[in-house]
Amino acid sequence: MAKILVTPRSLTKGGDPTLDLLRKAGYEVVFCTPGKSPDEAELARLLPGCVGWLAGVEKITDAVLAKAPALLAISRNGTGVDSIDLEACKRRGIPVLRAEGANARGVAELTLGLALALLRSIPFSDARMKAGGWERRQGAELEEKTLGVIGTGKIGKLVARFGLAVGMNVVGADRYPDAALSKTPGFRYAPVAELLAESDIVTLHCPHEPGAKPLVDAAALVSMKKGAYLVNTARSGLVDADAVLQSLADGRLAGYAADAYDTEPPAAHPLFAHERVITTPHVGAYTAESVARATRAAVDNLLAALGKGA
C-alpha cells in the first residue's frame, strides 16, 4: 500500500478526521513523532515508500528528498514554503502545493491581539498581579493611530480591515497593490520608508527570501516614529533581532511582538526576555478553525495531485 507522510505538529498528536479521506483513497497514513517537527534522520526513516507528503514547517532539503524516490507531491497545510528547497523539488518533478488563505484569519486575529497586548501592557500587568504586586502602565488606544501593514495578501488585508474597523488610519506597502483595498476609505498605499516613518504600529505580513537581509534592520528602526510598536507574525528573517533589542534600549521602539522564529523552539536571545517584548510559540495558525481549513485544503490538494481528487 502506498504511503502518505503527515508531519504538521497540529495533526500528529491526535490526527484529524479529514485524514480519513486519505485512507479512503487507499493510502496508508504515517506520522512523525507527535507534536514535534521531524529532523532529517526521522524523515529519512519515514519517507521511503511515501508517494505524498502533507508537510508542516520542517526543513525539506535536497538531501531529504533523496530519501523519497517514490514521492509525487508535497502539500503544505499553510502558505509558507521558505523551509522547502523549491529548486530541488522542481528538479525532481515534485509539485509543492499550498493551502492558500486557510490560516489567514487565525494569523490576522493574533496580530491584532498582540498589538492590543503591547499597547495595554497586558502581559506585564498580568505578571505583576500574579507576583502579588500592583503596578500600572498607562496604555494607548488604537483609534486614530496609524497602522502600517507591510504585505497585503490574504493575512495583511484582513489585518488592514481590522485596523479600519477600530478607527485606525491604515497604510499598506506591497509590490502588488490590491486594487479593491486601495479604494477603501481610511486606507492608502505608500513606499515602505514612508510607512515606517508614519506608523504607530508596524506589522509584517510579507515573505522573506532565504539569505536576504532583514527588512527591518537598524536603519529601518531609526527611521520609525519614536514610540512605535513592531509586530512580526510572518518570518523571523524579516527582523534583525539585535537591532530591535538596541532600539528598545534606546527608547525609539516601544515594544515588539513575535510569533515567528528561525528555529522552533528558538535559540536563547536576550530580546525574548525583554519586558517590552511579547513572544508566542508560533500559534498564529493554531486555532481549531484554521487547522480544520488548512488540513482540508492540504488533503484536497494532495489527492488532486495524486489523481484521487473528487
Residues marked active site are found at 235, 264, 282
Whole-angstrom distance, CA of residue 304 vs CA of residue 125: 50
Classify residue 222 as exposed, middle or buried by CB count within 10 Å of its CB (0-12, 13-18, 19+). middle
Cα distance from N-terminal residue to C-terminal residue, the chain: 21
Could you give phi then psi for residue 184, rounded to 5 degrees?
A: -75, 130
Range 69-103 burial, b when 16+ CB lie within 10 A, else e: eebbbbbbbbbbbeebbeebbeeeebebbbbebbb
**Contacts made by residues 285-291, CB under 8 angstroms, sequence distance 24+:** 285/10, 285/78, 285/103, 285/106, 285/107, 286/10, 286/106, 287/105, 287/106, 287/109, 289/105, 289/106, 290/102, 290/103, 290/105, 290/106, 290/107, 291/10, 291/11, 291/16, 291/77
DSSP 220-287: HHHHSPTTEEEEE-S-GGGB-HHHHHHHHHHTSEEEEEE---SSSSPPP-GGGG-TTEEE-SS-TT-S
Point out which residues pair with 296 in neighbouring strands.
none
